[in-house]
């Protein structure tokens, strides 16, 4: 158990809908990363937040947005969902000390029908 929690574990929805994925980082970690992993694909970095502020942006679609709240949990909002958005969405957290790595949550599996 990495200490990073993600809810829900599974999500099934229809095209055109909007969903929110939630992530709680490890205790003491200020930084949250979001990744997308499509079937049999590598990890695509979406976005990073540090202590409530956006820190880095990757290949995140305009239909997707994220935020980090004062209690440091983060939410990833996916809207106007398409079939191709079906994927495993990971959250990872990091302490921000220069030597620290990131620890991953169990992921949320999103299926868009």
Partner 1 sequence: AQTVTQSQPEMSVQEAETVTLSCTYDTSESDYYLFWYKQPPSRQMILVIRQEAYKQQNATENRFSVNFQKAAKSFSLKISDSQLGDAAMYFCAYRSLTGNQFYFGTGTSLTVIP
Note the residues at the interface with partner 1 (CB under 8 A): 2, 31, 33, 37, 41-43, 45, 48, 50, 55-56, 58, 88, 90, 92, 98-99, 101-104, 106-107, 109
How many angstroms separate the CA atoms of 74 and 7, rounded? 11
Least separation in angstroms between residue 90's CB and partner 1 is 6
Residue among 1 and 62 whose Cβ is closer to partner 1 = 1
Least separation in angstroms between residue 95's CB and partner 1 is 12
How many angstroms separate the CA atoms of 29 and 108, rounded? 20
Residue among 30 and 79 whose Cβ is closer to partner 1 = 30
Least separation in angstroms between residue 71's CB and partner 1 is 21
Residue among 42 and 70 whose Cβ is closer to partner 1 = 42
């Amino acid at each position: 158990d990495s200490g990073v929690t993600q809810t829900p574990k599974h999500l099934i929805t229809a095209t055109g809908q909007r969903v929110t994925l939630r992530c709680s980082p490890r205790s003491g970690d200020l930084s949250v990363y979001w990744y997308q992993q499509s079937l049999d694909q590598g990890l695509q970095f979406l976005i990073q937040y540090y202590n409530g502020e956006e820190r880095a942006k990757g290949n995140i679609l305009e239909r997707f947005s994220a935020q980090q709240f004062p209690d440091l949990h983060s939410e990833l909002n996916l809207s106007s969902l398409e079939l191709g958005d079906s994927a495993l969405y990971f959250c990872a957290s990091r302490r921000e000390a220069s030597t620290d790595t990131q620890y991953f949550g169990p992921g949320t599996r999103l299926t868009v029908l």
